[in-house]
């Protein structure tokens, strides 16, 4: 599941009653975004409920189900989503089904309060796991055989746990990063947030990386400079000087904040900008290369292929929008 691949990943989502809509969206929307941006069905999901009937979310909006969660010998990864009153769902029958699923499923994830349900089914024994910060102390006392950690998400060999809705977005971005690479994960993250200095600011909001945690203002400033200098990339030493720290210090801060060094993030920004031009314009690839800071069309094509597993011409041919009859008229 977490190896580099452009093969489609199917995921089953077991949605418990009184799950937050935002929690469900935190799982689905990054996958939908990855599909839309890539122009490929990289992810497909199926919604399950305990008995196959629609379940009500905390907003009173029902979530339809493709089926009930049974005893099938499925290998598809299973994400267990729960928010409030999870104990009502923690029946002996459900715990038995979860235990059965663990024999076959390649991965089982506890999303927010889904962590409680996995622990109840003894699926987290002797493993590290995280939980919403409000529940951390109670969870630690209730399950001494689980190594509770205060983190946004935890991935082990066959288990995943998350600490809430936004940490779940972070998890999904990490899954995309591990499967399709940093460049796509960064572009998906930009669908979910933006930075703005003030509510009354007249400047346009600048897309930033949800899940890339640019809390350090120096990293955020460096990213803004990168975004403003796509055509003529700034070398690391100059970038660090404009931020007011050494190049080595900026590298360390960047690695802590984003999980990648500055040059990887900068290249991802440039490649994503190039890909949008490939798809949305008819510009020659040499012009796109120059506009996104590449020395030559061949260098651009090599970097593009390494990141997206296809050439710019392949992308344009695959995703070219059909011309309508009205557009063909002079």
pLDDT over 90 percentage in the chain: 82
Q: What is the mean pLDDT of residues 52-58?
A: 95
Q: Flag whether pLDDT at 194 surpasses 50.
A: no
Say yes or no to pLDDT of 207 above 50: no
Q: How confident is the model at residue 213 (pLDDT cuts 50, 70, 90)?
A: low
pLDDT score of 191: 86
Distance CA(164)–CA(113), nearest Å, equals 8
Query: How does pLDDT run across 288-323, given as a tens digit for each residue?
Result: 999 999 999 999 999 999 999 999 999 999 987 554
Residues 27-44 pLDDT 10s: 999 999 999 999 999 999
Would strands 194-195 and 206-207 be described as parallel, antiparallel, or unpaired?
A: antiparallel
In the three-class reduction of DSSP (H, G, I as helix; E, B as strand; rest coil), residue 280 is classed as: helix
Instruction: Dig out the tokens for 250 from the structure.
Output: 């900026």
Q: What is the pLDDT at residue 98?
A: 97
Tokens representing 111 are 């999303």
In whole angstroms, how far apart are CA 122 and each of 96, 133, 164? 10, 21, 21
pLDDT at 234 exceeding the cut of 50? yes
Given a cut of 70, whether residue 23 has pLDDT beyond it is yes
* Spatial CB neighbours of 104, under 8 Å, sequence gap ≥ 6: 73, 74, 75
What global pTM score does this model have? 0.86
pLDDT band at 328 (very low <50, low <70, confident <90, very high): very low
Q: What is the mean pLDDT of the chain?
A: 90
The pair of structure tokens assigned to 210 is 């949800």
115-137: pLDDT as tens digits:
999 999 999 999 999 999 999 99
pLDDT at residue 215 is higher than 90: no
Q: Which residue has the tokens 């951390």?
A: 136
Region 138-156 average pLDDT: 96
Structure tokens at 218: 């120096």
Question: What is the model's pLDDT at position 322?
Answer: 52
Q: CB–CB of 26/166 below 8 Å?
A: yes
In the chain, what is the straight-line distance between the N-terminal and C-terminal CA atoms, in Å?
50
């Amino acid at each position: 599941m977490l190896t580099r691949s452009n093969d489609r990943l199917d995921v089953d989502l077991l949605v418990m009653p009184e799950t937050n809509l935002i929690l469900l969206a935190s799982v689905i929307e990054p996958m939908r975004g990855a599909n839309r941006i890539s122009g490929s069905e990289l992810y497909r999901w199926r919604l399950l409920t305990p008995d196959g009937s629609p379940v009500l979310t905390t907003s009173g909006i029902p979530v339809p189900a493709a089926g009930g969660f049974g005893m099938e010998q499925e290998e598809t990864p299973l994400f267990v989503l729960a928010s409030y009153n999870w104990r009502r769902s923690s029946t002996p029958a459900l715990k038995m089904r979860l235990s059965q699923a663990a024999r076959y499923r390649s991965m089982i994830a506890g999303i927010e309060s889904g962590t409680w349900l996995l622990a109840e089914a003894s699926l987290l024994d002797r493993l590290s796991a995280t939980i919403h910060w409000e529940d951390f102390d109670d969870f630690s006392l209730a399950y001494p055989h689980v190594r509770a950690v205060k983190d946004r998400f935890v991935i082990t060999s066959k288990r995943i746990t998350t600490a809430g809705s936004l940490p779940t977005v972070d998890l999904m971005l990490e899954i995309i990063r591990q499967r399709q690479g940093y460049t796509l994960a960064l572009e998906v993250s930009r669908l979910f947030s933006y930075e703005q200095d003030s509510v009354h600011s007249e400047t346009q909001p600048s897309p930033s990386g949800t899940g890339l945690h640019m809390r350090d203002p120096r990293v955020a400033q460096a990213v803004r400079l990168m975004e403003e200098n796509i055509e003529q990339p700034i070398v690391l030493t100059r970038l660090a000087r404009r931020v007011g720290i050494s190049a080595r210090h900026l590298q360390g801060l960047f690695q802590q904040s984003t999980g990648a060094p500055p040059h990887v993030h900068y290249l991802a920004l440039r490649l994503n900008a190039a890909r949008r031009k490939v798809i949305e314009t008819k510009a020659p690839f040499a012009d796109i290369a120059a506009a996104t800071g590449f020395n030559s069309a061949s260098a651009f094509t090599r970097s593009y292929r390494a990141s997206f597993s296809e050439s710019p011409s392949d992308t344009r041919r695959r995703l070219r929008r059909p011309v309508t009859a009205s557009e063909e008229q002079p």
